[in-house]
A and B are shown apart, each in its own frame.
Chain A
Amino acid sequence: MREFDWSVIGRSGDLLMAGTRLTVGLFLAALVLATALGLILALMRLSPVRPLRWFAGTYIWIMRGIPVFVTLLFAFFVARDLPGFGWLTPIWAGVIGLGIDGAAYKAEIIRAGIMAVDHGQHEASEALGMTKAHYMRRIIIPQSIRVIVPTYMSNSILLLKATSVAVGIGLVELTGITRQLSNSTFRPIELFTAAAFIYLVLTTVLVLLQEFLERRFALKT
């Protein structure tokens, strides 16, 4: 009967932390890329120019239709062969792959948030003679943030968990390092439990951040 040896976690602490740092870095970089790209796509989807709408719509359909693992494989192998991309290490492939996949979801969330603002706000602004550019900026988008925050945050939590998929293209983030450690120490239960715990801490931090932001952006009553 094999006993648990929880001290292996302590001994592997440095490596687990290194993996965690990579996970967090990957998450933040991909989040920035996904949000920026998502914002552009959302505006394209809302634009009156049909080819823009069509392009963004197709992009979103494709990215949400294929698994993020496949997007990462694509980013890693395919981009590697293209001229100018030779430097694509697993980290870059990870950031770009997760970013372009995440952008599709962020785009829909942002678009939905903007559309969710009551139509009466548009009408009042137009009746006052405001230009569309002005009232989108000052009236509609500030109100849409309130609606966007919850779904944006919960989607970001999914992105954090998706960083684990990068292990499939050789990136040694938290999941990757845990697997390597469990192979070398033969303590999979203890180590995967530790990894699970670390992920829970990270996601719980994000959940708390989400609740804070929801309160911060709530309308004053």
Chain B
Amino acid sequence: MDWQLVWDSFPLIWKGAQFTITLTAWSLLFGTAGALVLALMRLSSVKLLRWFAAGFGWLFRGIPLLILLFFAFFALPDLNVGPVDGVLLEPFQAAVLALSFWTAAYQAEVIRSGIIAVDPGQAEASEALGMTKAHYMRKIIIPQGLRIMVPPYIGNSMTLLKQTSLTTLVTVPEMTLLTQRLFSNDFQFQERIAALAILYLALTTVFVVAQQVMERSFRLKV
């Protein structure tokens, strides 16, 4: 193993990191927004909304992300329905679209589980005190639910970061694709892949540490 080559690979592969990180950021943004909507729908008293949210979750968590990616990139251009004459997306756009839907489905579960995990006694006490549901959801339940949600939310975000590696297959020039380009030129597979692994490890360890810090502070405050 040529460690010098590994070291030299870092700056080259890191050029792809901007895509890794921006993909993650945008997908988290849109995905979390979607997840909030879905979670509210799941918890609503309107059966139709609950069903839709449950169905959405079942669909987007039941199929592999790669299928979503390929659908967004290869299939949407062929979508000729009504006024739509095919949706042609750039690789980056297709990736964000697919990743956002995927994230929304998973984070919706995190949000819903977090709210449910709050001791039902809290709601009972609030109602006994005469508070409206809107009020105690906002001031009592959600703040406590947030503390429960944060660690798994961070865990999911870390998974999202790892999943951006799949966008290589729809030609997004993030870290994994750049690494493949490097070793298809000089066949130094071991060193290039090792460098790639180390860079991913660096990025994900940030999330791992953040998650542990959040968990600890949650435990102390209880």
Residues on A lying within 8 angstroms of B by beta carbon are 1-2, 61-62, 64-70, 73-74, 77-78, 80-81, 161-165, 167-168, 175, 178-179, 182, 186-189, 192, 195-196, 199-200, 203-204
Contact = CB atoms under 8 A, between A and B. Distances in A.
B19 to A, nearest CB: 14
Contacts of A186: 78
B204 A192 contact: no
B74 A188 contact: yes
A58 to B, nearest CB: 11
Contacts of B189: 77-78, 80-81
Interface SS of B by simple majority: helix
Given A65-B201, A164-B64, A188 B193 contact: no
A52 to B, nearest CB: 21
B176 interface: yes
Contacts of A179: 70, 74
6 closest residue pairs by CB, A with B: A164-B64, A77-B189, A67-B162, A67-B165, A188-B75, A161-B64
A161 B197 CA distance: 22
Nearest to A197: B63
A197 to B, nearest CB: 9
A178 B64 CA distance: 13
Given A67-B165, A69-B166, A188 B78 contact: yes
Contacts of B59: 200
Contacts of B62: 199-200, 203-204
Given A70-B193, A192-B70, A175 B64 contact: yes
B149 interface: no
A168 B79 CA distance: 25
Interface in B140-183: 162-166, 168-169, 176, 180, 183
B115 interface: no
Contacts of B58: 200
Contacts of B165: 67, 69-70
A70 B71 contact: no
Contact of A66 (B71, B75, B162, B164): B162
Given A188-B74, A200-B63, A168 B169 contact: yes
Contacts of B164: 67
Contacts of A80: 189
A70 B197 contact: yes
Contact of B67 (A2, A64, A73, A175): A175
Given A77-B193, A78-B189, A167-B169, A199 B176 contact: no
B136 interface: no
B176 A74 contact: no
7 contacts: A67-B176, A69-B165, A73-B180, A77-B189, A165-B64, A182-B75, A192-B71
B155 to A, nearest CB: 10
B200 A67 contact: yes
A188 B68 CA distance: 12
B87 to A, nearest CB: 11
Contacts of B78: 2, 186-189
B80 interface: yes
A72 B190 CA distance: 13
A187 B71 CA distance: 11
Contacts of A81: 189-190
A76 to B, nearest CB: 9
Given A2-B80, A67-B164, 14 more contacts: A2-B78, A62-B201, A65-B201, A74-B193, A74-B197, A77-B193, A81-B189, A161-B63, A175-B66, A175-B67, A182-B74, A189-B71, A196-B67, A200-B58
B205 A65 contact: yes
A19 to B, nearest CB: 12
